[in-house]
């Protein structure tokens, strides 16, 4: 009987997923299953994936493997195929089934705060795996426009092509170094999907023209450790609504739990475990 779940990424010193998922397993009486970290470099992936096939029920995938892992999948769900990224894998009969719960988790976090993005202009900072999951969900929510800002033009353009292929709103690529010249006042929601400001490098900040921001805008960061990145603190200082990544972590994790185990996730127990962990770390 397989009794392993985990998270694959590199590095993993920031992750709270094991605390959250092990609390969920305990809450539903599945303490025999252990959720662990798989901090592996790229050269170790092939051996790691064979181990996952043979001994795991499923895993989460995080930076930097959400896109890189896809060629190893035996099956990819519609949502992951749309996003071009996998953040959750279930192992069934030795086959790897990849899905993406990032977009679902992000949209649930917005809904909980009463935020409706339909018809709105969005600025997405970053073009990696998390950005892809979030952006495709935003397109499905009928946003008016998504501009993508990234360092690598090819990745930014590739994401915009994906969004256009699923009937997405118009959007342009912006090079990160040119963002400082951009009027950010046209965006209802600005989302940081990059690791800039994440523990243990939480003093790093995004070089943005913060003075262009207007008081009806929302700043959102997918980072949850720390809860207030320099990006969010700049918004808060200007009286803007800010959203950290904790609820996205919670809801994508709950969706992963249900994907692996065909069992309703104990969301409140998961939330409590995250808050307790963050209180201890602060």
Are the CB atoms for 159 and 128 separated by under 8 Å?
Answer: no
Nearest to 241 by CA among 225, 214, 217: 217
Query: Residue 64 and residue 12: Cα distance in Å, rounded?
Result: 10
Query: Residue 94 and residue 33: Cα distance in Å, rounded?
Result: 18
Phi then psi dihedrals of residue 216, to 5 deg:
-100, 10
149-162 b/e (C-beta count within 10 Å ≥ 16 → b): bbeeeebbebbbeb
Angle among Cα 262, 65, 191 to the nearest 5 degrees reads 85
Angle among Cα 129, 132, 136 to the nearest 5 degrees reads 155
Q: Which helix (H) or strand (E) holds 175?
A: strand 173-175
Per the listing, tokens 């946003």 go with 143
Q: Which residues are catalytic?
A: 66
Contacts with 208 (C-beta within 8 Å, 6 or more apart), sequence order: 179, 180, 184, 231, 234
């Amino acid at each position: 009987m397989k009794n392993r779940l985990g998270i694959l990424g590199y590095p993993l010193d920031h992750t709270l997923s094991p605390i959250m998922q092990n609390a969920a397993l305990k809450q539903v009486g599945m303490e025999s299953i252990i959720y662990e970290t798989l901090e592996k470099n790229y050269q170790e992936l092939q051996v790691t994936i064979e181990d996952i096939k043979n001994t795991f029920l499923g895993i989460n995938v995080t930076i930097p493997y959400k896109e890189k892992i896809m060629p190893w999948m035996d099956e990819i769900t519609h949502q992951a195929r749309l996003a071009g990224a996998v953040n959750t894998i279930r192992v069934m009969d030795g086959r790897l089934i990849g899905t993406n719960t990032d977009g679902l988790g992000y949209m649930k976090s917005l809904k909980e705060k009463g935020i409706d993005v339909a018809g709105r202009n969005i600025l997405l900072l970053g073009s990696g795996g998390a950005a892809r999951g979030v952006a495709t969900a935003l397109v499905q929510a009928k946003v008016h426009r998504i501009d993508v800002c990234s360092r690598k033009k090819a990745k930014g353009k590739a994401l915009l092509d994906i969004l256009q292929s699923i009937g997405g709103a118009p959007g342009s690529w912006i090079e990160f170094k040119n963002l400082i010249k951009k009027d950010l006042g046209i965006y209802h929601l600005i989302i940081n999907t990059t690791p800039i400001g994440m523990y243990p490098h939480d003093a790093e900040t995004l070089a943005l023209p913060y003075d262009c921001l207007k008081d009806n805008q929302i700043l959102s960061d997918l980072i949850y450790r720390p809860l207030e990145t320099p990006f969010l603190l700049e918004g808060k200082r200007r009286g803007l609504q800010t959203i950290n990544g904790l609820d996205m972590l919670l809801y994508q994790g709950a969706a992963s739990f249900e994907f692996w185990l065909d069992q309703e996730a104990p969301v409140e127990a998961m939330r409590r475990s995250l808050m307790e962990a963050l209180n201890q770390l602060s």
